[in-house]
Amino acid sequence: MHELSVCQGLLDQVAGIARQHQATGVKLIRLRIGPLSGVEPQLLERAFPLASAGTIAEHAALAIETLAVRVRCETCGAETDAAANRLLCGACGDWHTKLVSGDELLLVSVELTTVAWQEVSSAH
Amino acid sequence: MCNTCGCNVTPGNAQLAQQKDANGESALTLLENLLSANDRTAAHNRAHFDEHGVLAVNLMSSPGAGKTALLEATIDALKNEFRLAVIEGDLETENDAARIRRHGVLAHQITTGSACHLDAHMVHTALHHVPLAGLDILFIENVGNLVCPASFDLGQHRNVVLLSVTEGDDKPAKYPVMFRAADLLLLTKTDLLPVLDDFSPERAEGFLRALANPAPILRLSARKNLGLDGWLDWLRTGVRARKQQAAVRQAQSPLARPAMASKPAMDSVQRFQRVDHSA
């Protein structure tokens, strides 16, 4: 399964951002993953502790938001829910649709614990 | 404006992208593609292909659907017309590269070990062994797998997915991510259709269309040399398009080309540096 490589890519990204901001730790990582992204959120959650051990994100919580599959019909213009393997228009049944959401594979945000603040606070 | 590279973070909303709260924790809004490192390398690979006017075709299917057999038949049909090369992806063995080399074409084997897919970095490394100058088509035969290869952009121009008629005709419904990515669907081993009463090409097409995919569907048998003409014409059209685009690029901005090929894409760290300054 490729979730481990996706997870390692994610951790490289997060580590780069943490370095840039001189963070001492990563508290929270928010992801958005659609059913048509090809990545299984549950497998990613299971891979995360293995991949993050010994990295700056070792103690980070992983929050994964999944979006519904939605399509917009190019024939009738309706926007409807769809199943991942049946992207037909829910209104007229045509297959000429465009995906509105459902294939996201995004790093939405990270929450960092920063050195800068600790320096400021010790000066107080 | 996209949601993958961070270009949606502007000076106007940068303060929303970086908020430091009272507890010394800073929250960064990123909206970056999770595979951005892979995608940057893929874009770099594509820039190399475009610079040389090479058509890069990514072949994906289950193991045993006939990717290598298709390449052998394709090479025999086109090797006097085009200059071809092949990158082979397998977990182990040089067997497929050896098969290709017997047809007189350069083949580089990537053995992935336990990795179930090729990624852009593997292809980039392989490109050091595949001279692109003078090449017309580079085939990348991905690891036989209908799941993972679909998630990784390699820098290819076209995805070709093979579905052999010895498999179920409902494969597109079972593996929607893979079949949604197909620019061309090849039904292979169709010489066996008369003895396989449970595979309906029409049903397979119905399942592909249900994924809102308008990709053309061609039927062929590489072993029996049947129905290859449509596939070969599809390749010829692709090669012509790449050559035309390469000519246009050369005419438009001869100075921009080398810079684009050698300069790595700006990474997220640099982007945030810029945001910090403007904020």
State the Cα–Cα distance between residues B19 and A115, nearest whole angstrom: 15
Q: Which residues of B touch A39 (CB under 8 A)?
A: 34, 151
Q: Return the residue in B2, B7, B28 with the most chain A beta carbons within 10 A, the one to mutate for interface testing.
A: B28
- From the CB of residue A48, how many other CB atoms can be counted at a distance below 10 Å? 22
Q: Which of residues 79-118 of A touch B (CB under 8 A)?
A: 84-88, 95-99, 104-114, 117-118
State which residues of chain A have pLDDT below 70: 1, 115-124
Tell me, yes or no, if A45 comes closer than 8 A to chain B by beta carbon: no
- From the CB of residue B278, how many other CB atoms can be counted at a distance below 10 Å? 11
- pLDDT on residue A72: 98
Q: What is the pLDDT of residues A6-29, one digit of tens each?
A: 999 999 999 999 999 999 999 999
Closest Cβ opposite residue B211 in set A6, A85, A111 = A85
CATH of domain B38-240: 3.40.50.300
Q: Residue-wise over B73-110: b if at least 16 C-beta within 10 A, else e?
A: bbbebbeeebbbbbbbbbeeeeebbebbeebebbbbbb
Cα B173 from chain centre: 21
Closest Cβ opposite residue A109 in set B28, B150, B273 = B28
Beta-carbon separation of A85 and B210 below 8 A: yes
Beta-carbon separation of A87 and B210 below 8 A: yes
Beta-carbon separation of B26 and A1 below 8 A: no
Please indicate, yes or no, if residue A62 is contained in any of the structural domains.
yes
Beta-carbon separation of B35 and A19 below 8 A: no
Q: Which of residues 60-79 of A touch B (CB under 8 A)?
A: 71
Residue type, B117: H
Q: Among the residues of A1-124, which ranges form H helices?
A: 3-20, 41-52, 115-123
Alpha-carbon distance values, B254 to A6, B244, B247, B260 (Å): 37, 15, 10, 11
- pLDDT on residue B251: 85
Please indicate, yes or no, if residue A26 is contained in any of the structural domains.
yes
Please indicate, yes or no, if residue A77 is contained in any of the structural domains.
no
Please indicate, yes or no, if residue A54 is contained in any of the structural domains.
yes
List the CATH number of the domain containing A39: 3.30.2320.50
Please indicate, yes or no, if residue A87 is contained in any of the structural domains.
no
pLDDT one digit per residue (tens) for chain B, 279 residues: 333 334 444 445 544 444 455 456 778 888 888 888 899 999 999 999 999 999 999 999 999 999 999 999 999 999 999 999 999 999 999 999 999 999 999 999 999 998 899 999 999 999 999 999 999 999 999 999 999 999 999 999 999 999 999 999 999 999 999 999 999 999 999 999 999 989 999 999 999 999 999 999 999 999 999 999 999 999 999 999 999 998 888 888 656 555 444 444 433 333 333 333 333
- From the CB of residue B260, how many other CB atoms can be counted at a distance below 10 Å? 14
Question: Residue B217 — φ and ψ, nearest 5°?
Answer: -120, 125
State the Cα–Cα distance between residues B252 and B245, nearest whole angstrom: 10
Q: To the nearest 10°, the Cα dihedral for B113, B116, B119, B125?
A: 20
pTM above 0.90, yes or no: no
Domain membership of residue A19 as a residue range:
3-67+102-114
Q: To the nearest 10°, the Cα dihedral for B161, B166, B170, B175?
A: -40
Give B29→chain A minimum CA distance, Å: 4
Closest Cβ opposite residue A9 in set B35, B177, B207 = B35
Please indicate, yes or no, if residue A11 is contained in any of the structural domains.
yes
Q: What is the ipTM of this complex?
A: 0.85
State the Cα–Cα distance between residues A5 and A11, nearest whole angstrom: 10
The count of structural domains within chain A is 1
Give A20→chain B minimum CA distance, Å: 6
State the Cα–Cα distance between residues B26 and B18, nearest whole angstrom: 7
Smallest CA–CA distance from A22 into chain B, residue? B26
- pLDDT on residue B265: 40
State the Cα–Cα distance between residues B237 and B187, nearest whole angstrom: 20
Alpha-carbon distance values, B232 to A4, A21, B81, B85, B125 (Å): 38, 53, 11, 16, 28
* A vs B: CB pairs below 8 A: 134
- From the CB of residue A40, how many other CB atoms can be counted at a distance below 10 Å? 17
